[in-house]
């Protein structure tokens, strides 16, 4: 049940609860690029990232029990679930690993959710979340590998296709793959969808190379938003069918892109949200002459101290 029709239904379902995020042209010369890129600013979405779309879509289709909602998250998904649960009148408990950005934890609490900070990585938080669900009956909203989540995230592409119908290519940062899975499913090979991952957190790239989801080591400046140890089974299948290319960028290029987004566009974003742009600035992805390129800026829950360090 992950397809263009379901993504369209998801958009109709969540439209009263989300923001239609803007697009902006960077202008030729920005970021040292000789061409203008079209940027969709999903960091201004409720909860600070695209993930609010999947959270609302999932919750609006569920009967929520007395135990409420539970989710494991690196931070952005947790904030999105907390936001959606609060808006719809449900209690929520969010499990986050110790590497999570303090700003994201604060945002989760802002929405009234209980936060459990424990474990070295996302997988540890996920195990704790699963145990809580067994004990309380709370329902789970998966961060990336569930139809409700993927169809919700795919609504980014539905909006963008209407806002910038002339694009040839879009670059999308990848963690567990729910965003690129939904977006590439909506575009259905109508344009090229390029997956961009950090070298130190490349679950989809490794899965495509192995022809199946595999575990990867996670060690990247963008790990608290793109640090899935293994991409999802649904997302892998969608990527195999619809993602045109997978490229990797290193942490130095991510931090450079993050700094340039602030100094040249006045956009304060987290490293994960700068990852797609890093592929263009570094040359990991090189467009053809005249190719119209879009870059998704996927999240704005920046740690301002970290951003200051990136600025040097």
The DSSP secondary structure of the chain, one letter per residue, reads --SHHHHHHHHHHHTTTS----EEE--TTGGG-SS--EEEEGGGSGGGBTHHHHHHHHHTTS---TT-EEEE-SSHHHHHHHHHHHHHT--EEEEE-TTS-HHHHHHHHHTT-EEEE-SSSHHHHHHHHHHHHHHH-PEE--SSSSHHHHHHHTHHHHHHHHH-TT-SEEEEE-SSSHHHHHHHHHHTTSSEEEEEEETTS-HHHHHHHHTS--------TTHHHH--SS--HHHHHHHHHH--EEEEE-HHHHHHHHHHHHHHH-----HHHHHHHHHHHHTSS-PPTT--EEEEE-B----HHHHHHHT-
Could you tell me what percent of the chain has a pLDDT over 90? 85
Q: What's the predicted TM-score (pTM) here? A: 0.95
Q: What's the pLDDT at 75?
A: 82
pLDDT of 108-154, one tens digit each? 999 999 999 998 877 788 899 999 999 999 998 888 999 999 999 99
pLDDT of 225-268, one tens digit each? 898 889 999 999 999 999 999 999 999 999 999 999 999 999 99
Low-confidence ranges of the chain (pLDDT < 50): none
Domains in the chain: ranges and CATH: 4-49+147-310 (3.40.50.1100), 52-140 (3.40.50.1100)
């Amino acid at each position: 049940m992950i397809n263009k029709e379901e993504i369209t239904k998801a958009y109709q379902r969540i439209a009263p609860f989300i923001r239609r995020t803007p697009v902006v042209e960077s202008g030729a010369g920005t970021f040292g690029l000789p061409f203008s890129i079209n940027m969709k600013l999903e960091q201004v979405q409720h909860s600070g990232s695209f993930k609010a779309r999947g959270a609302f879509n999932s919750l609006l289709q569920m009967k929520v029990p007395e135990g409420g909602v539970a989710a494991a998250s690196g931070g952005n998904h947790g904030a999105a679930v907390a936001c959606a649960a609060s808006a719809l009148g449900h209690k929520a408990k969010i499990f986050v690993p110790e590497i999570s950005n303090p700003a994201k934890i604060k945002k989760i609490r802002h929405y009234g959710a209980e936060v459990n900070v424990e474990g070295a990585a996302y997988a540890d938080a996920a195990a704790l979340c699963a145990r809580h669900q067994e004990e309380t009956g709370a329902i789970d909203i998966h961060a990336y590998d569930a139809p409700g989540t993927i169809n919700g995230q795919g609504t980014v592409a539905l909006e963008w296709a209407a806002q910038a119908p002339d694009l040839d290519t879009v670059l999308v940062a990848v963690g567990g793959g729910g965003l690129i899975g939904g977006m590439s499913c909506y575009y259905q090979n109508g344009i090229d969808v390029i997956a961009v991952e950090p070298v130190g957190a490349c679950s989809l790239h490794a899965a495509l190379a192995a022809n199946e989801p595999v575990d990867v080591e996670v060690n990247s400046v963008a790990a608290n938003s793109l640090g899935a140890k293994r991409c999802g089974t649904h997302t892998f299948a969608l990527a195999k069918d619809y993602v045109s290319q997978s490229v990797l960028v290193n942490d130095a290029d991510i931090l450079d892109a993050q700094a340039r987004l602030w100094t040249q566009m006045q956009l304060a974003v987290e490293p994960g949200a700068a990852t797609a742009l890093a592929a263009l600035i570094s040359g990991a992805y090189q467009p053809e002459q005249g190719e119209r390129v879009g870059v998704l800026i996927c999240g704005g829950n920046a740690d301002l101290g970290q951003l200051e360090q990136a600025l040097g």
